[in-house]
Amino acid sequence: MCNLYRMTKAADEVARLFGVDAPAGTNVGEEVFPGYPGLVLDAAGLRSMVWGFPLSLKGKSGRMLKPKPVNNARCDRLDSFMWRYSFAERRCLIPMTAFAEAEGPKGAKTRSWFSLPDQPVFTAAGIWRQSDEWGAVYSMVMTDAAPVCADLHDRSPVLIDPGQRDLWMRGSPEEALSLCTPYAGPMQVDRTAEPWVQRAAAS
């Protein structure tokens, strides 16, 4: 699954790449985590949304717990109640410069970054909706792992090539689902020593 990605380009630069207006007043970090805002391209243009559909569960006391962001939507479960209306009516694109997977033993995992050498900014498939809890939210669509990712995880993001973006956004659900295949193009891997969990420095 994908729980971290990078977008190192500024919002106005991303907007120029896609031929849309830049969103006003965005506060999006270069590294995007579940529950935090990221840039999303939908039918209305480029805007900031929170990464993850809110899921509220009850605790042992019976009280509702703080919502948890569900940031990945498996393509084989897009017909489930949680996803099907968004998939049918509100598909989007998630621009990024790299996505990360955790590598190594538990407690010592590091970040391995995946990018596309022929696309400095590429797009992952997404779906979105309006929520009461966090406003506009989005989730990333996942499929079977791309070959280069398979030794780290059994799933990876659905990556949408430039020529397929309009089909993902505006095609029928059946046409969009046909794009949910492992990425077969060239992919660059940067296996780093960066800890997966970044701890704040002591003050």
Supply the CATH number for residue 134's domain: 3.90.1680.10
Which residues contact residue 3 at a Cβ distance below 8 angstroms, ignoring those fewer than 6 apart?
33, 34, 71, 72, 100, 102
pLDDT digits (tens, 9 = 90+) for 52-73: 999 988 777 778 788 999 999 9
Average pLDDT over residues 160-181: 97
Q: In the chain, where do the E strands start and end?
A: 5-6, 31-32, 37-42, 45-51, 53-55, 68-70, 72-74, 91-96, 98-103, 110-115, 122-131, 135-144, 155-157, 159-160, 188-195
Which residues contact residue 70 at a Cβ distance below 8 angstroms, ignoring those fewer than 6 apart?
52, 53, 54, 55, 82, 139
Number of domains in the chain: 1
Asked whether residue 113 is assigned to any structural domain, the reply reads: no
The domain containing residue 152 runs over which residues?
5-55+67-100+118-187
- Sign of the dihedral defined by the CA atoms of residues 148, 115, 42, 171, in that order: negative
Asked whether residue 131 is assigned to any structural domain, the reply reads: yes
Asked whether residue 106 is assigned to any structural domain, the reply reads: no
pLDDT digits (tens, 9 = 90+) for 87-139: 999 999 999 999 999 999 998 999 999 999 999 999 999 999 999 999 999 99
Per the model's pLDDT, the better-predicted residue between 25 and 124 turns out to be 124
- Is the per-residue pLDDT at 160 higher than 50? yes
Asked whether residue 109 is assigned to any structural domain, the reply reads: no
Record the tokens describing residue 4, joined without a space.
Answer: 């971290």
The mean pLDDT value of the chain amounts to: 93
Per the model's pLDDT, the better-predicted residue between 6 and 56 turns out to be 6
Asked whether residue 139 is assigned to any structural domain, the reply reads: yes
Record the tokens describing residue 98, joined without a space.
Answer: 């790299």
Asked whether residue 50 is assigned to any structural domain, the reply reads: yes
Asked whether residue 153 is assigned to any structural domain, the reply reads: yes
Give φ, ψ of 20 to 5 degrees.
Answer: -125, 170
Q: Confidence band (pLDDT; 50, 70, 90) for 200?
A: very low
Q: Confidence band (pLDDT; 50, 70, 90) for 199?
A: low
